[in-house]
Structure 1
Amino acid sequence: MTEETQVPRPSQPPQVLFPCDPLNPRRTDGHFAAEARAVRERGGTVALIDHDALLAGDAAGAVARVPRGLGAARYRGWMIPVDDYAALDAALAARGAGLLTTPDQYRSAHQLPGWYGAFAARTPASRWLACTPGEVPAEAELTRLAAELPSGPGIVKDWVKSRKHEWDTACYVPDLRDSAGLRRVVAELVALQGEFLAGGVVLRAFETFTGPEVRVWWRDGEPRLFTPHPDADDVSVPAVPASVLDQLGSSVRTLGCPFVTTDVALRSDGVWRVIEVGDAQVSDRHPAVAPEDLSALLATAD
């Protein structure tokens, strides 16, 4: 989207769909159990889907426990590939339910090529190309892509995730102009992601950040919650200036997705930058954040 979009709000509190426990489909997956309990305590309705069945291609089976006529719902759970999310939406529609975040909106917030345009001025320069799992792009293709970015270091990732825990071998590139070195890192990323490679390969200019990342949770175009990044050891949450939130809010509303997260941090020159954008339905919560705080975003219309 190129123009700022006002995201419509639901007229009544939505239902919330959580993944079930793989060993006990009548229970919520343990990772999300506290959030589901907090939603119920707030008076919200919880229904369960089978995440494993969905990823196995059985969308109808995945929603078999969702009550018919459930109505508008938010999903809250593990990441879902974009095609499987569309299948989930269709299977729910057949049962009289629907996702407040449409498949197109989910794709836009979940994959970098979808959100980059709205945030290009506020995030490291990026370029990407599509490829299938196991496919390593030719060195010439990667060289062409890297030439569109500033010279110097960069990182590689797929359209959704990086391999930052394999920083030196599958993420960080000391020199984007080193074609052989770049392809070596990309090949390792593709190998490690395996069948879970999402969309293709992204090259990003490297920027140096200081201090902890702040995860900003946006609903209906407004910042609703500020938390540490889920991987952070430091649970402090620096205050994001109001002027920065105004700028970010403009980008969020341009993106036009109802429930998103932005991970932001101070660059070494003192400028706030967006490191990642995500669909908040599948954005993880730091353990230090009370599940009740998130339930307020999941189970309320206002």
Structure 2
Amino acid sequence: MSMNNTGIHHISSLVGNIYQAYDFYHRILGMDLILKTVNQEDSNMYHLFFGDQKGRIGTEFTIFDMPNSPTRRPGSNALERTVFLVSDQASLIYWMKRLDSFGVEHSGIQVFGKRDMLFLQDGDGQELGFTYHEVVIERMFPSKESEVPQEHAILGIAGLQMRIREVESLRKQLVELYGFKVEESFVYQGQQVLTVGFDNDFHHRLDLILDLEAPISVMGVGSIHHIAFGVENHSDLEDLVTRLNLMERPHTGIINRDFMHSLYYRAPNYLMFEVATASGHREAPIPQQRELLDQIPLFLPTFLEEDRADIESSLAERYE
């Protein structure tokens, strides 16, 4: 029996330059910045959250900056591609034209199983995509601040593609622990793909791509660091701790992030999973949208506030 799950909570990736990445995701992709903070394990590292107007889980894509770090080595056993949700086929056509106008290379519209997708990369080689669902999408709150028309704006996270060596143990965990359901199996570019879906507002989907030939991936700039799944409250995390202990799978234990609680562990295929609550002890207000990142105030969790002056000074020196 699965926990009180909510689907994908957020997806977090690694970028080489926070200013270039902010320009790409905020200006070119038109996503609202919903939180400017730091990595709580390394407060010298920025952590930016993008999402919809309300900052809802299920829409959040986050980036950590790692200047002067090696780029990723693509391969198997990787969280490979974040796929953003848009409204319809017309939106994919709009995005092809918009990406062309900014000189961003893309795949054109591809047929992936039963879905149409548009593949692209950010400036660090981060694998991204756009897709739409054939079902009615309701209660969406795309950015009002962007020059991207609302009818074509990014609505949230549609899903994530994983390139892996072994499918069955991962499928079992996603179904039994997180409440996903198998939707389809198909061949794409000579490789078997299993898709599992979650019944929420965003109809989140995970594509498990079986790849026995590619070398094992190496984490670096341009990688997805982790995917976070959502649960309703702290007691669900306590339930997960019990389940992981029974599975003899090591984990971090529950961590208080101030604005949420979460834990981390390695799933099958050595994938990094986080499981997080919708809220915590303190709410992080959504900032006013600004063209320049430095114009946006830095949010810090309560336990880092006393170090604010040192943290802001360190961040200011990061790109000198």
Q: In proportion to residue count, which structure has more helix?
A: 1
* TM more than 0.5: no
What TM-score results when the alignment is normalised by the length of structure 2?
A: 0.27
Q: In proportion to residue count, which structure has more strand?
A: 2
